Amino acid sequence: MLDEGGVMSRKATNRSDTPRVQYRLADGTVAEAPWAEIDARELVNGMPCRTFPWYLGRRSYAGEYWCATERKHVNYESRLELSRLMMKDFDQSVRRIASQPFKLRTKVDGVLLTRTPDFLAITEAGPLVIDVKGVRALQDPEVCRTLALTRTVIEARGWAYEIASEPPEVEYGNIRFLAGYRREWLFQPDVLARVRRALQSVAEASVETIVRATELPRVTAFPGLMHLLWRGECTSDLSRTLTGATTVSVRS
C-alpha cells in the first residue's frame, strides 16, 4: 500500500527503533519494508535509491561503469567507488552488484542512523553490503562511528559488511587492464576455443608461450587470453605487474 508520501509500504511495526529500508523497484516506484524482511534479490533488481548530481566545483567524479556481472551500466559516485566496483565485477564469487541499493533508517543504542550504503553484492556466501571510504576519511571518528553502527545493523541480520578503501595499486592496475577485455560478445567462440586448448596443453606457462601455442596471430590470441583471465578460467599472480612473462595457470 502507499503511505501519505506516496511510498509503497509493507505492513509492519512503525516503532522508530525498528530497522526499515526504503528502496526503488525496477519501475522506479519507491518502496519501504522492515529490514528483517527485505530480500537482497529484490534490492539488486531495483533502481539506485539515489542519484549523483553534477555541479560546478564537485570534488568527486561520478559516472557509470558497464558491469559484466550485471550486463548493464552501474553507477558510481567517485573514482574510489569505481575501483571497488570494478574489483567486485572481477571477483568470481560475485553473482550480482547494485549501486545505492537502499536507504536504511533505525536506532542503534539510542542513536538515529540513516544510511545509504554504496553497493550491495550477492556472492556465493550470501549478501554483502559495501561502503567505500578512503583511508583519510577513516581517520575521522564520526565517520568510523557511523560505519560501526552500520556494521552492527547489517551483521545482526547475518549479512556481510565491508568497508573498502584504496585498493593495492598493482593489483587494481592489472584488474583495470583486464577489464578492457570483459565484453564477451567481442570474442569469437572459435578463437576462445583455440586459446582454451592451448591453455590445457601447457597447464601453466607464460602469457607469450600460451599465445604462441594457439598458432593464431598475436593480435587475436592475446585479447582472447586476457578475456579468459577476466572470466577466471585461468589465473595469475595479480599482485605483480602483468607482462608477457607472467605465468598463467589453468584454474583447477
pLDDT in tens, 193-214: 999 999 999 989 999 999 999 9
The yes-or-no verdict on residue 8 having pLDDT over 50 is: no
153 plus 73 within the same structural domain: yes
Residue 216 has pLDDT above 80, yes or no: yes
Number of structural domains found in the chain: 2
Which range among 20-34, 46-60, 140-154, 193-207 shows the weakest confidence by mean pLDDT? 46-60
CATH number of the domain enclosing 130: 3.40.1350.10
Q: Where are the alpha helices (DSSP H) in 106-214?
A: 141-156, 169-179, 189-202, 207-213
Backbone phi and psi for residue 221, each to the nearest 5 degrees, phi listed first: -75, -40
Instruction: Indicate whether 15 belongs to any domain.
Output: no
Considering the domain architecture, whether residues 45 and 151 belong to the same structural domain is answered as yes
| pLDDT for the residue numbered 220 | 98
Contact 53, 60 (CB under 8 A): no
Last residue of a domain, one of 164, 193, 210: 164
Answer yes or no: is 8 within a domain.
Answer: no
* Range of the structural domain that residue 141 is part of: 20-49+58-164
Q: Do residues 152 and 77 both lie within one domain? A: yes
Could you say which of 164, 182, 206 is where a domain stops?
164
Residue 98 falls inside a structural domain: yes
Residues 150 and 38 in one domain: yes
**pLDDT interval class at 107 (50, 70, 90):** confident
242 and 148 in a common domain:
no
Is the domain of 159 the same as that of 183?
no
CB 9 within 8 A of CB 33: yes
- Which pLDDT score is estimated for 11? 42
CA-to-CA distance for 220 and 187, rounded, in angstroms? 9
149, 164, 179: which is the final residue of a domain? 164
Q: What is the pLDDT of residue 204?
A: 93
In angstroms, the CA 148 to CA 241 distance is 35
Considering the domain architecture, whether residues 126 and 236 belong to the same structural domain is answered as: no
For residues 111 and 142, membership in a common domain is answered with yes
On whether the CB atoms of residues 203 and 250 are closer than 8 A, the answer is yes
**In this structure, is residue 34 part of a structural domain?**
yes
Tell me the per-residue pLDDT of 114-164, one tens digit each, with 9 for 90 and over.
Answer: 999 999 999 999 999 999 999 999 999 999 999 999 999 999 999 999 999
Tell me whether residue 94 is in a domain. Answer: yes
Considering the domain boundaries, does residue 5 fall inside one? no
Query: Are residues 232 and 174 part of one domain?
Result: yes
Q: Which residue has the higher pLDDT, 83 or 56?
A: 83
Asked whether residue 112 is domain-assigned, the answer is yes
Q: Are residues 122 and 139 in the same domain?
A: yes
With 70 as the cut, is the pLDDT of residue 180 above it? yes
Angle at CA of residue 131, ends 166 and 88, nearest 5°: 65
Looking at residue 58, its pLDDT comes to 66
CA 216/CA 128 separation, integer angstroms: 41
Q: What is the mean pLDDT of the chain?
A: 91
Average pLDDT over residues 185-197: 97
- Specify whether 199 is located in the same domain as 81: no
Asked whether the predicted pLDDT for residue 16 surpasses 60, the reply is no
In a domain, 12, yes or no: no
Q: In this model, does residue 47 exceed pLDDT 90?
A: yes
At residue 13, the pLDDT reads 41
- pTM above the 0.75 mark? yes
